[in-house]
Structure 1
Amino acid sequence: MLKGQDIAILIKLLLKNNTKEKIEFKSIAHELYISQSEVTKSIKRLETTKLITRYSDDSIELHKHELMEFFVHSVKYHFPAEINIATRGMPAVYSSPYFKKLIMSEESYVWPYINGDTKGLALTPIYKALPNALDRCPDENFYAIISALDLIRLGGKRENKIAKELLEQFIWNQ
């Protein structure tokens, strides 16, 4: 069974793969605000799902067709959106920097975060430490992808189409 942090690690693997950056578990752990042992366990879970293959030289191959299918059709069922009362936090979904320009919404969503400066309906993030991770190591591409997944978890057909287009750009490295 996948955990939310596995999705974040999968996104980091995708981004590092796209830039041909060497994949180091220590670096991913630091960027995502989780332990290195959790990254290792996550990689094993991701291998079990056939979303990635890890080779003996520690290189990792992402299975992009399966990854796209998983993101577009499964994430919303494995990690359903949970909305709570308004709170302070980090902008999420329609309020995130990437989608704020593309989608007009009367609703404002945030991932609850004590250091956040935006108020909105609380959306439980895919994994608990997400706001801490983005605060520690800002990464606009990671933020855009995780927001696209939140859009799929929460949105309708139009929003899903926009999210899918963004995911295709990153997955196929266009």
Structure 2
Amino acid sequence: MNSRVARQPMNRLHPSPRIRLSAVLLACGLWLAQPALADEYAEVQRLHGAGQTSEALARADKYIAAHPADPQMRFIKANLLSASKRPAEAEALLLQMTRETPELAEPWNNLAVLHAAQGQLDVALTELQTALRLNPGYATALENLGDVQARLAAQAYQRARQLDGGNKRLPPKIDALRGLLDAPPKPGG
């Protein structure tokens, strides 16, 4: 899947190797931070990038304890948890964010990426539709929606082939979608 996560460009979410990262939230203008706060975000990201994820999570937790209303660091923490292969914790934090900051589309997008990676495509579809209701111009969510729909189409074609193995129209469709879904991500994505 070519799904992109709204987050700082640090590394790819796992378990799906196809997940690409989107632009930095600060560049998107979601939260305007004071320089000291931006430095704290950068430091947590630096720690993670240096392979010190435990330290990054501890620093994020300390920051969140002092600034519980700041969604930016909670969002960063959710991405750290995802990158640390702790999707259940990331999901819980993102769900909490959807309740506390319902106007933000990014937590819905990232929930969708987590669910799509787990094969829960119907759930991911609903979450992406929510993200797009909140922000119709959210290109990352639109791309992820296309990826989820392509995976759902591939599943439907595979099921149709199981039911009607002689249908000559299905193999080219399946091959085309397989090529699309297996294509390597584009650099800078």
Q: TM-score, normalised by structure 2?
A: 0.29
Larger radius of gyration: 2
Q: Greater relative contact order (Cα 8 A, min sep 6): structure 1 or 2?
A: 1
Q: Could you say which structure has the higher strand fraction?
A: 1
